[in-house]
Amino acid sequence: MMYESSKKILVIEDDTVTRNLFLKGLKAEGFNTISAQNGLIGIQQAREHLPDLVICDIMMPDMDGYSVLTTLREDPLTAIIPFIFLTGSDTRADVRKAMELGADDYLTKPSTLDELLRAIATRLRKQATLQYWWTTQFLNTPKPTAAPQTSDVAPPDSIFPCDPQLKEVFDFIEANYHQGITLCDVAEAVGYSSAYLTNRVARQTGETVNSWIVKRRMAGARYLLQNNNQTIEQIAKALGYQNVCHFSRQFRQHHGLPPHAWRKEHQVVLQKEATLC
């Protein structure tokens, strides 16, 4: 069976023979493959190439597979990448730890190529289904009616999806995003580990906790830039940023323009609308 050639698989394995064996088998099945001989290089490769799936050993020098998984789950760029452990350790404690950290599957050595391919296919199908579900849910969910504003940094509509299972998470972000909160603050507030919460939110929404915090801050930024004459530094501070350069850089990444340029362009639009009226 040939798989989509566009799918990239990262194999993190310190044993050269094992690594090359699986790389060869994956290439024969049509996958694009990336390899890493240890966890540190694996993290670098994941951030650089953003693979569709990661296969990783647990027992490796310098950094074990658990640390690799934790690091990837806490990075918004790599948090939702499916992750499969392939290891010689099969104790119940090891499997439990892997699942708690957010692993998608756990295969024990020796495993056949067929077993690995079935696990990969299952994970990729599930990822595609979740992404499709999230896209359709987000597009089809009607926007809530605008409520009277109680805060001068609140946009008229909620940016968060209507998901009862994550209501506590989004409520905490909504109430505290302007105080410079982080993933760790949200996780502590709702009683989960940072890695578990990142994985859960990513699976249900297609976005990470950090992404939602930034999205909420960006919505507040647009509202403030449009509706008052505060300086960029004052707006950054109101949104919980300690550094105005960090705010400006993040705003530009999301909007393609720095805050002052976006404000100027947006105000021109408002003036034209006023003239037409």
Instruction: Using the predicted structure, report yes or no on whether residue 158 has a pLDDT greater than 50.
Output: yes
Whether the Cβ atoms of residue 169 and residue 213 lie closer than 8 Å to each other: no
Preceding peptide of 110 cis, ω within 30°: yes
Query: Which H/E stretch holds residue 53?
Result: strand 53-56
43-83: per-residue pLDDT in tens? 999 988 889 999 999 999 889 999 999 999 888 778 888 89
| 197/192 Cα distance (integer angstroms) | 6
Assign domain 164-276 to its CATH superfamily.
Homeodomain-like (1.10.10.60)
**Residue 105, strand partner residues:** 84
Q: Taking 70 as the threshold, does the pLDDT of residue 154 lie above it?
A: no
**Beta-ladder partners of 11:** 35, 55
Query: Which tokens go with 74?
Result: 């806490």
pTM, whole model, 2 decimals?
0.52
Spans of all domains in the chain: 8-134, 164-276
What would you measure as the largest C-alpha separation in the chain, in angstroms? 73
Fold of 8-134: Rossmann fold (3.40.50)
Task: Name the percent of the chain lying above pLDDT 90.
Answer: 34
Q: Which residues pair with 12 in a beta bridge?
A: 36, 56
Chain center to CA of 100: 17
Tell me the mean pLDDT in the region 137-142: 49
Q: Are 63 and 86 in contact (CB under 8 A)?
A: no
**Is the pLDDT score of 118 beyond 60?**
yes
CA-CA-CA-CA dihedral for 226, 231, 237, 242, to nearest 10: 120
Q: How far apart are CA 37 and CA 256, in angstroms?
A: 37
| 138 has a pLDDT exceeding 60 | no
> Comparing C-alpha atoms, which of 240, 257, 265, 9 is closest to residue 123?
9
Sign of CA dihedral 51, 54, 60, 62: positive
For the stretch 201-245, pLDDT in tens is 888 888 888 889 999 999 999 989 988 888 999 999 999 898 899
Domain 8-134 and domain 164-276 have a common topology: no
Tokens of 159: 């940016």
The pair of three-digit structure tokens given for residue 91, joined into one six-digit string: 């104790």
pLDDT at 100 over 90: no
